[in-house]
Amino acid sequence: MPRDARELAGAWARFQRHAVASPSPDLAPFVERYWMVSWEYGEPYRQLVVPYPNVHLTFRDDGAIVQGVQGGHRIRVLAGTSGVFGVAFRPGGFRPFLRRSVSTITNRSIEASQVFPAAPPDPVEVETVEDYLRSRLPERDARAERAADIVATIVARPELTRVDALARHLGTSVRELQRLFAEYVGIGPKWVIRRYRLHEVTERLARGVPIDWPGLAAELGYADQAHFVRDFKDVFGESPTRYAERY
């Protein structure tokens, strides 16, 4: 099947517009960023959406939805002229709003009205969305902030490729990390480590850096290249070389 030329060599940028904004100080312990995407497609386009350990609250024409952390890639079909406004919560930052384990919404979507008592804002913009979040603004949660800090450590320390190594670095146990991540992040520390190590691969692909694939697999903690490629496909939906064509 011929590949859609609109997803090759950065062509998607001709059809989409992206913007981000930072949260106000009172919301910064919970919210990582606000993101806005608009698009215009004459023919439907299959958008690859890759996962991160963030819960998202999205506002579209058909209402407001909370999307739990996704364990793998998704395809979203974009058509016509439209857009979406999103709130990306810090890893762990949605637990104080949800008031139950974030793992209960992993790989699921729920109506925002199940969490937030106010009606969705109109118009949808940073100021009105922040007022909407403040309608259920929780107390700061030390464990939520610890979860966010641990994820930040995973991002900053590429040599951490195993959960036991992360636990030793933090002076805690593997079991405690697993419990904290299930309750606050919604997905396990092993998945988060794998996700950010694979993110490093996509950054190298985007820069056009020549890659020694067997050497890279070993660097990322994989027993062999086949296991690395399998994990990459699970997260991104295609092989590393096919994914590189997007740039």
Q: What is the pLDDT of residues 35-60, one digit of tens each?
A: 999 999 999 999 999 999 999 999 99
CB 42 within 8 A of CB 26: no
Number of domains observed in the structure of the chain:
2
Instruction: Give the C-alpha separation, 224 to 214, whole Å.
Output: 7
Q: What is the pTM of this model?
A: 0.93
Same domain, 154 and 99: no
The answer on 130 and 10 residing in a single domain is: yes
Whether the per-residue pLDDT at 245 is higher than 80: the answer is yes
pLDDT surpasses 80 at 1: no
Short-list 22, 88, 32, 27, CA closest to 55 = 88
CA distance 91 to 184: 7
13-32 mean pLDDT: 97
Domain limits at 214?
142-244
User: Which among 3, 189, 178, 181 is positioned nearest to 95, based on CA atoms?
Assistant: 181
Summarize pLDDT for 146-165 with one digit per residue, the tens. Answer: 999 999 999 999 999 999 99
Do 24 and 128 belong together in one domain? yes
pLDDT at 58: 98
Reply yes or no: is the peptide bond before residue 123 cis, omega within 30 of 0.
yes
Look over the chain and give the mean of its residue pLDDT values, rounded to a whole number: 94
- Whether 78 and 31 share a structural domain: yes
- 220, pLDDT greater than 90: no
Q: What is the length of the chain?
A: 247
Q: Give the CA distances from residue 236 to residues 116, 167, 220, in Å, rounded to whole numbers and listed in that order.
A: 32, 27, 16
**Residue after which a domain boundary falls, among 109, 134, 159:** 134
